[in-house]
Amino acid sequence: MDLLVLGGTAWLGHAVASAALDAGHRVTCLARGDDVPAGADLVRADRDHDDALAGVADRSWDAVVDVARQPGHVRRAVRDLEPVADRYVFVSSVSAYASQAELGADERAALLPPLAADEYAGADEYGAAKVAGEEAVVAGFGPDRATIVRPGLIGGPGDPTGRSSWWPARFARSAVGDSGDVVVDAAADGPDEVLVPLAPELPTSMVDVRDLAAWIVRLATRGPGGAFDAVGTSRPFPELIDAARRVAGHDGPVVTAPPEWLLTQGVAQWAGPRSLPLWIAEREAWGMNARSGAAARAAGLRLRPLDETLRDALEAERRRPDAGPHGSGLTLAEEAELLAAVPRA
């Protein structure tokens, strides 16, 4: 297959290009940067410009994979590539759905209204921008030649957001002693106790970037068309914590903090500074990590065990040359302050 990846220099796009090369396909990436996998051709272009795709629209493609976030990028790519490409796989998001309240929902759920503008202004418009991209792809390529992939949280090695590696990395900082075959971090520098939110019912899910990339290549190769929620298995938050402790070799004390108390302390949810990553207090948002995913699995998405995703995410963190923070989570100082004040049973 001759595959055009619109992107390829960041996390998922790079993984898609790598997976396609591994499967023996010819890969061309189009991006402004140049960090594409060895073996891929690169066309450097800025998709903010109307004629950005001129260098790839003069030849034919078996498939296009697009990770764009801006509707204008997608609209122009569909305009320029429909005449020369057989199939278009667009990476959207579960953020495209109008509601995140329902647990177990599937692709029949209502989407947000599409963003009319070519560019979205802020995170609030991200989902609507994805819907606009989806609509452009389906309108241009038709339902049989268009595949829409809506990932939930993507996890695994190299996660630029640091969300999927945060809990294993945090437990590794407090892991000491002999933990069987687990490599315990020799530089463990955390306190004995680890603070976790009390969230027994909170659903979590994580699709491994490598599983997602391999499946996207498969979809690019032979479809089917349609829309698919590409989500990991949904499990309660304590199971994620247990898995993170297992891969980090942590068997020390864990202190649970009630969600209402954490909110009064200004602890943020999901991601970002002073957050407990992947924690969500508001039930109206819980559905985003509890989508069915049955259609994607029926269409060939294979999910590796969560422990493997977390273990590899932790190992990748340990190999990061600067080992600096991703900008998500509590600092040890913030955590120590909270541990000193948390109401204990």
Rule CB under 6 A: which residues touch ligand NAP? 7-13, 31-33, 45-48, 67, 69, 91, 93, 151, 153-154, 161
CB of 343 to ligand NAP, least distance (A): 33
Four-CA torsion 156, 157, 161, 162, nearest 10 degrees? 90
Nearest Cα to Cα of residue 168 among 182, 178, 149: 182
Taking the least distance from each CB to ligand NAP, the nearer of 126 and 261 is 126
Nearest-angstrom CA–CA distance, 46 and 177: 51
Taking the least distance from each CB to ligand NAP, the nearer of 12 and 138 is 12
Q: What's the residue count for the chain?
A: 345
Nearest-angstrom CA–CA distance, 187 and 89: 43
Residue with the shortest CB distance to ligand NAP: 33
CB of 110 to ligand NAP, least distance (A): 18
CB of 172 to ligand NAP, least distance (A): 22
Beta strands in 237-301 (DSSP E): 254-257, 268-270, 275-277
Taking the least distance from each CB to ligand NAP, the nearer of 93 and 269 is 93
Q: What is the DSSP string of 196-234?
A: EE--TT-EE--EEHHHHHHHHHHHHHH---EEEEE-PPP
Taking the least distance from each CB to ligand NAP, the nearer of 156 and 259 is 156
Taking the least distance from each CB to ligand NAP, the nearer of 96 and 195 is 96
CB of 90 to ligand NAP, least distance (A): 8
Taking the least distance from each CB to ligand NAP, the nearer of 82 and 229 is 229
Question: In this structure, which amino acid lies at residue 243?
Answer: A
Q: Per 3-state DSSP, what percentage of the chain is helix, strand, and coil (rounded to 5)?
A: 40, 20, 45
CB of 47 to ligand NAP, least distance (A): 3
Nearest-angstrom CA–CA distance, 251 and 249: 7
Q: For residue 179, how many other CB atoms are within 10 A of its CB? A: 16
Taking the least distance from each CB to ligand NAP, the nearer of 13 and 287 is 13
Phi, psi of 77 (to 5 degrees): -65, -40
CB of 53 to ligand NAP, least distance (A): 10
Asked whether 11 and 209 are in contact (CB, 8 A), the reply is yes
CB of 71 to ligand NAP, least distance (A): 12
